[in-house]
């Protein structure tokens, strides 16, 4: 596996308090799909999927879970490299504290010594939101970029659809990757 890509859908449990007020967490809207606890995410056997030469790992997270995402990397044995930022056009106040949430983060790291195949010119991207009913869906252009900098083979965890040339695993896809959890 050259690429383990974890999406928020089916991933971070937004009902966990994560250090926030538990009553506020209970009031959040139901996302309409199952989520995993942080402990379940940490227990995923990511190193079992890694190619012998190593792999690149991309882990999507939100502002609330950013500190925990670094802990996930540590537990998985991933050496952190960079944080990519998806800057979204603001659309009102929505959830968040003093500032409305208009960014998502993708931690980039690796297991082993697999080299990058190309260098890109930015760590932040202003892609449009995916539209109504597509909560947690990530821009297709992100996967295009992964294919430019990370050699295959590729696997996407928590995939919502199949992409040519990729194995997938998730509750919304016809799994082609095996992941014993």
pLDDT tens, residue by residue, 2-20: 444 433 333 455 444 444 4
Question: Which residues neighbour 88 within 8 Å (Cβ) at sequence distance 6 or greater?
Answer: 102, 103, 104, 126, 127, 128, 129
Instruction: With a cut of 80, say whether residue 30 has pLDDT above it.
Output: no
Domain boundaries, the chain: 3-169
- Among residues 157, 122, 159, 156, the alpha carbon closest in space to that of 137 is found at 159
Q: Which residues pair with 106 in a beta bridge?
A: 60, 84
Q: What percent of the chain has pLDDT over 90?
A: 41
Helix (H) / strand (E) containing 72: helix 66-76
Helix (H) / strand (E) containing 102: none
Model pTM? 0.78
Determine the pLDDT at residue 178.
57
Question: Which residues neighbour 31 within 8 Å (Cβ) at sequence distance 6 or greater?
Answer: 9, 14, 135, 136
Mean pLDDT, rounded, of the chain: 78
Which tokens hold the place of 167?
């194995």
Question: Which residues neighbour 40 within 8 Å (Cβ) at sequence distance 6 or greater?
Answer: 181
CATH superfamily of 3-169: Vaccinia Virus protein VP39 (3.40.50.150)
């Amino acid at each position: 596996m050259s690429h383990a890509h974890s999406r928020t859908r089916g991933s971070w449990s937004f009902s966990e308090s994560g250090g926030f007020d538990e009553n506020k967490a209970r009031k959040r809207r139901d996302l309409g799909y199952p989520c995993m606890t942080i402990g379940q995410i940490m227990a995923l056997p990511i190193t079992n999927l890694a190619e012998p030469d190593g792999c690149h790992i991309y882990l999507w997270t939100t502002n609330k879970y950013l500190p925990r995402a670094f802990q996930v990397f540590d537990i998985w044995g991933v050496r952190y490299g960079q944080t990519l930022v998806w800057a979204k056009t603001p659309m009102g106040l929505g959830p968040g504290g003093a500032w409305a949430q208009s960014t998502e983060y993708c931690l980039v790291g690796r297991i082993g010594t697999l080299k990058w195949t190309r260098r890109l010119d930015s760590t932040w991207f202003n892609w449009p939101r995916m539209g109504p009913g597509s909560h947690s869906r990530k821009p297709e252009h992100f996967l295009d970029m992964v294919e430019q900098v990370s050699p295959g083979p590729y696997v996407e965890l928590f995939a919502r659809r199949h992409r040519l040339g990729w194995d997938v695993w998730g509750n919304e896809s016809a799994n082609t990757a095996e992941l014993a959890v």
